[in-house]
Amino acid sequence: MISVQQQDFDVGEQYRRLCDEAGEAGAVVFFVGRVRGGDGTVQALELEHYPGMCERQLQGFVDEARRRWDCRSVRVVHRVGRLAAGEQIVFLAVATRHRAEAFQAAHFLIDQLKTRAPFWKKEHGPDGARWLDAGAADVRAAGRWYADAVAW
């Protein structure tokens, strides 16, 4: 299940739905990404996405995870719009028969999402707003995907 939405999500409800679909899978790993704050520099994030392509990319990552690992259920919920510091951004969960697969599939999915799903963050702070740059590690992780795209 994939959802790109403005409204917040309830982790307990997402977990229950994952389990309902996963049957007797023995392991669940989930990840929640939140708006980092605390030092006063980030008051809010604005999340923009490419509607349509975003959902297609996410579905592609889930399909690939299902090919690589025996995933019984996968859920990805990603919010867009304006989010305050501390708010939830993304929920990603995988249910598999054994824990190693669940960790591996979840790690694969969040890495794919961070490097290849068309979302962009704009940070609002006391000094105004600025678009965030992709981290060097994320760009490296995306590897060939970027190399192909930028060769004019």
Which residues are at the interface with other proteins (CB under 8 A)?
33, 47-50, 52-53, 56, 78, 89-90, 110, 113-122, 131-134, 138-139, 142, 145-146, 148-152
> CB of 12: closest distance to other proteins in angstroms?
22
DSSP letters along 92-103, please? EEEEESSHHHHH
Cβ atoms of residues 18 and 71 within 8 Å: no
Q: Which is nearer to other proteins, 49 or 75 (CB)?
A: 49
Q: b/e for 43-66, b at 16 or more Cβ within 10 A?
A: ebbebebeeeebbebbeebbeebe
Q: Which is nearer to other proteins, 72 or 78 (CB)?
A: 78
Q: Which is nearer to other proteins, 87 or 138 (CB)?
A: 138
> CB of 19: closest distance to other proteins in angstroms?
24
